Structure 1
């Protein structure tokens, strides 16, 4: 299977490096992506929004033979879901890493814009549960490598148009949102979780991590992703 890894905000393809080996060992071909405009200044990133990120993933989908799994971490989940919607017939499974499928019109989140881009806001801006498993060395390493993202990307609404996306096999690998909490959201079905509540095939896998398992437990994350592809 061709596995396309979509990073979250401020991350590039290299953040998947230690996750990839277990996936490849399971016989899959991995395509780790860096999204357009990451690390660029306002001039270079000004024309880049969530639609351009989705289009970048779709472009990869269109070049590989498949079957295809899309894996999105955090805000990359919105991007993966947008690409799945655009190419439903090509996608075998979508895996969300500590995130969930957005409803149409949903955004990633709001972060401060500085000099026309959104820089990494620092670990202290996140909930303690998100970062509790990241030691000081890990935080320093990845904060130094985090890159600004285009200003529009975090708050651009995602465009979804093909309801067949709801029939795709979907897995949530979650470290900060326990299974029971996900089930409660599904039962309540608030508008922001409309797609989550309407999924026809959903597996939820809990892992003992915060929001960035690719940093705190990369091999275990890779093994979990590989297992999800055959569930």
Structure 2
């Protein structure tokens, strides 16, 4: 079966138009490989579209669900290639957000887990994104690692990090030039149909602690069984 290739732009902003651009190549997940109970949302999605009015404050085709455990969230999605984040501590929040078309076909799924450490000063978000064959992403390849915009507000720098097990991650460190925003580190890695990402926000005086936390996560083997 041929799979569509698509490119995705990821951006993080501190203020104004500052940010970075990262484009990744992913393969779409065959619809039949999403086997979890998320498929039971189909009729609800169809009803959303049927009842939607332009004056509504919500958009049709959206799914959002919280879970008490990663195991339950993974079962809800039911994609065999989506694996555990293996985070170093229990997540404070676990959620699945998805979009679907008018026929109720799942197009996009995002699993995210959040926790904090260092007395709440370091905030960690782990996410896994995937698109199915029902998505309307164009069927072309565009690889573009990444371009930066430097402004008086912040500066982003880029590097590669390879774990002891051989996994290579794209790291982007954003340093705020003012007192109003935290600094951040973002790590990205693709595995065929899945984009894994880690975002860590922290005050500038905890940069070394944030870097150590990211290294701990990556060396634990995020995305591994």
Structure with the bigger percentage of strand: 2
Query: What is the TM-score of this pair, normalised by structure 1?
Result: 0.29
Pick the structure with greater CA Rg: 2
Higher RCO, 1 or 2 (CA under 8 Å, sep at least 6)? 1
> TM-score under structure 2 normalisation?
0.29
- More helix by percentage: 1
